[in-house]
Amino acid sequence: MIECDVLVVGAGPAGSSAARAAALSGAKTIFIDKKREVGVPVQCAEGIGEYLFPYLPFKIPKHLQVWKIDGISFWAEDITIERTGSNWSGYSINRDEFDKWLADKATNAGAKLMLETELIDLEVKGDYNVTKAIVKTPKGNKEIVPKVVIAADGVDSTVLKLLGFNLDLEKNAGYVIGFKMKNLKLEKPNHYQIYLGDFAPGAYAYIFPKSNTSANIGVGAIFFEKRLEECYEEFVNLPLIKKQIARGTIVEDRSGWAPIRYGIDKLNYGNVLLTGDVANQNFKPFIEGILPAIICGDLAGVVSSNFILKGEPLSNYTTYMENKLGNFFTESDRLIDTLYWLGKFPDKRGHLLRLGIFSNIFSLEQIHNLVNEDYTSLKSYLNDWDHNRKQF
């Protein structure tokens, strides 16, 4: 039996960041992951937005910012809109390398990492008070007795299931089919490319470059009227895409589930804090979860340690999170509600409306009036914006 102050389940960006913060603040911290190797396999398009850098608890070293992204090109119905500037720029990273760097930061701060260690059961007393965790390791099952548990075990969280929450992945998450490809002839290697159309029902397809000739390419959907594999085929056969990937080869499958809606309504149950994908802490429409997971994980780690060492309430985590990223989450929640609502408009006008929203040309306030406009008017609004470079 192992005793600790803080048990972090999961060594992704949220878990490693939480473990680092808890250990740095003085708590005896263990973080576990069922994987043999941190960060592998990669199930990600590997993009991070520069606008979130000021909120991070530490700097990301230059060598991990492997490819500079200057902006995003959005495409629908033969209109391309380019956005550049600090809200639209960022970097592509190597997730495996990045996640290992984060885990190293936690172990350097004094947290103990246990790999090939899977949470399989929890002893829970009273109101979500975890008194014991049973983990499966290559040397047999072990018991860990923590004072606080941080659930950072991703979109299909074992912690939440063991606490009795009925998770419905199909309802609260979206599946993304994605591949890393090489030997590409990218149109704009320093721009992310986002495509909207029938091939990505309610969502988008993407090309996220990692060099002049390699990229993560994929399709996500929030409505499932056709198989996502078909959507992907349709997307890669668009002339605009075909010419970029004609000689391309797939290096790796990077598909996976990404959270879209909240499966739970709180960030703190008893002595458990939820962080990262467990808590739907990503920003829509791009399901940008890496940096939010680091920022929120850090807060969860600090609060856990302060709870143990100074008696600070665990519920403060919610307040700190709202103070730091609340505005981003509010906007993101409104956006996803609007995207579901736009599902009522599955015609080509819907693609134009989404183009306007994704590229932030149409505000969420305007959209309820714009749905009454016809296709030609919407097209001319978007084209006019492109000529005048101003907010519509």
Ligand X SMILES: Cc1cc2nc3c(=O)[nH]c(=O)nc-3n(C[C@H](O)[C@H](O)[C@H](O)COP(=O)(O)OP(=O)(O)OC[C@H]3O[C@@H](n4cnc5c(N)ncnc54)[C@H](O)[C@@H]3O)c2cc1C
Q: Which of 25, 29, 73, 158 binds ligand X (CB under 6 A)?
A: 158
Q: Which of 152, 215, 222, 370 binds ligand X (CB under 6 A)?
A: 152
- 288 lies in the binding site for ligand X (CB under 6 A): yes
Q: Which of 219, 211, 179 is nearest to 195 (CA)?
A: 219
Please name the residues in contact with 230: beta carbons below 8 A apart, sequence gap of 6 or more.
none
Q: Which of 21, 27, 178, 355 binds ligand X (CB under 6 A)?
A: 178
- 153 lies in the binding site for ligand X (CB under 6 A): yes
- 5 lies in the binding site for ligand X (CB under 6 A): no
Do 273 and 185 contact (CB within 8 A), yes or no?
A: no
CA 385 to chain centre: 30
- 263 lies in the binding site for ligand X (CB under 6 A): no
Q: Is the dihedral of CA 247, 185, 49, 66 positive or negative?
A: positive
Judged by CB under 6 A, the stretch of 39-47, 126-134, 303-311, 381-389 that binds ligand X is 39-47
Give the shortest CB-138-to-ligand X separation in angstroms.
13
Torsion of CA 240, 246, 250, 256, to 10 degrees: 20
Residue bearing tokens 């060598």: 63
Question: Under rule CB under 6 A, which residues in 333-392 are in contact with ligand X?
Answer: none
- 298 lies in the binding site for ligand X (CB under 6 A): no
CB-CB neighbours of 252 under 10 Å: 13
Q: Which of 11, 150, 217, 300 binds ligand X (CB under 6 A)?
A: 11
- x/- string (CB under 6 A) for ligand X, residues 13-32? xxx----------------x
Q: Which of 25, 1, 16 is nearest to 307 (CA)?
A: 25
Give the shortest CB-75-to-ligand X separation in angstroms.
18
Q: Which of 47, 197, 209, 356 binds ligand X (CB under 6 A)?
A: 47
> Between helices 348-358 and 375-388, what is the axis angle to 10°?
30
Q: Which of 256, 263, 301, 350 binds ligand X (CB under 6 A)?
A: 256
Q: Which of 22, 30, 44, 186 binds ligand X (CB under 6 A)?
A: 44
CA 261 to chain centre: 12
- Classified as helix, coil or strand, 15 is helix
- Tell me the C-alpha distance between 197 and 79, whole Å: 12
Query: Which residues form the interface with ligand X (CB under 6 A)?
Result: 9-15, 32-35, 43-48, 118-119, 152-154, 158, 176, 178, 218, 254-258, 276-277, 282, 287-290, 293
